[in-house]
Amino acid sequence: MTAVDRRGSWRVPVVLLAALTTACAGTGRVYREDARVSLISIRPLAADRDQPHYGLALGISNPTDAALPLDGLSYSVEINGREFAYGVSHQAVTIPAQGEAVIEVEVVSDLLGALQPLQADQDQPHRLDYRITGQLSLSDGAARMPFDCSGRLDWLPATDGASSR
């Protein structure tokens, strides 16, 4: 093999790799805007368990002009700057273009410890700042869609529930 042949031999694998990478990237839809995920409500579940279980309602908004087919999501929730819960959901749902959907998930958490100082004043609603981060798993071949959203919940200890504002 001459010096010219050895220099040119690397081009074929590089060109093939570039072609395969481009082909794989083109199989999924490109979403120009990310979905927004919000914490709509927190409600306590059966109290007879060893650890506190809560039901979370997660709202997912699709600001795009195309339907958003989800296979599930992974998430982490902070309340007032403290980790509250994390988990995954394998619920499949298609969110229509410029539409919304709600996914219910169950988590195990010791949020009660974080909320005990608020228990004394049960007649007044308390504002809970939240942050929810994670990734949506898209079923149309597109890459995972990350999200990082925050908001505020109004929580009334007497009702053991919270709702988004």
Domains of the chain by residue range: 29-164
Q: Quote the pLDDT of residue 20.
A: 38
Domain 29-164 CATH assignment equals 2.60.40.1820: yes
> How does pLDDT run across 39-76, given as a tens digit for each residue?
998 887 876 667 778 889 999 999 989 899 999 999 99
Number of neighbouring beta carbons within 10 Å of residue 106: 12
> How does pLDDT run across 120-138, given as a tens digit for each residue?
455 666 788 999 999 999 8
% of the chain exceeding 90 in pLDDT: 32
Nearest to 156 by CA among 44, 37, 39: 44
CB of 71 closer than 8 Å to CB of 92: yes
Tokens of 137: 């798993």
d(Cα 65, Cα 1) in Å, to the nearest integer?
56
Q: Quote the pLDDT of residue 127.
A: 81
DSSP secondary structure letters along 33-79: S--EEEEEEEEE--TTSSS-EEEEEEEEE--SSS-EEEEEEEEEEEE
d(Cα 46, Cα 74) in Å, to the nearest integer?
24
Tokens of 92: 């499949």
CB of 140 closer than 8 Å to CB of 31: no
Nearest to 59 by CA among 77, 40, 84: 40
Confidence of residue 97 (pLDDT cuts 50, 70, 90): very high
**Which residue(s) pair with 68 in the sheet?**
95
